[in-house]
Amino acid sequence: MSETPENANNPDGAGAPDPSNAPSMAVMAQYLKDLSFENPRAPVSFQGDAPPNIDVNVDVQARGLNPDQYEVELSVAARATRNDEPVFVVEATYAGAFQIKNLPRDQLEMAMLVECPRLLFPFMRQIIADATRNGNFPPLMLEPIDFMGIFVANAEKARQQAGQQADQAPA
């Protein structure tokens, strides 16, 4: 083992990174906040040869809890129809409490709306699959979601709307 100090070029330690200021993210808790499964036309909904059309909507919400602590909610609503008749509806909200430290504001927003839901998604996927299977349907396996792509698209849309509002403002 070497006897050379970690900062051999800077023996007084100046300029060494301070670990207490390093960005960090930790999951404090994960939990199911809401789950609903409806099969309004059972047992008729089990009849029919054609597979149902399934519409899936995903939403992410984030809010502060305490300094450096945030709750992120991942919500999924899936509606299956056949011949414009409901087959099933499943809605769930899965959340996590996260401790996020030492991130600039723009990176904090990205962490809450991209990284946190990315960590929650596999659990939500399993919850939705289990709910539909328990409703006597094939498990609905959600496709992976590009949270970064959604974040970038929403940011671009917000910039465009802000630009349009600035153009329409009276001089």
User: What is the Cα Rg of the chain in Å?
Assistant: 23
Q: What is the pLDDT of residue 114?
A: 95
Tens digit of each residue's pLDDT (9 = 90 or more) over 18-32: 667 888 899 999 999
Give the chain's mean pLDDT.
Answer: 87
More confident residue, 140 or 5: 140
Name the residue with tokens 């998604």.
121
pLDDT of 35 > 50? The answer is yes
**Contact indicator for 100, 108 with CB cutoff of 8 Å:** yes
Count CB neighbours of 144 within 10 A: 9
Q: What is the pLDDT of residue 74?
A: 97
Beta carbons within 8 Å of 147's beta carbon, 6+ residues apart: 60, 113, 114, 115, 117, 118, 121
CATH of 22-137, one of 3.10.420.10, 3.40.50.1970, 3.30.2350.10, 2.60.120.620: 3.10.420.10
Q: Domain segments of the chain: what residues?
A: 22-137
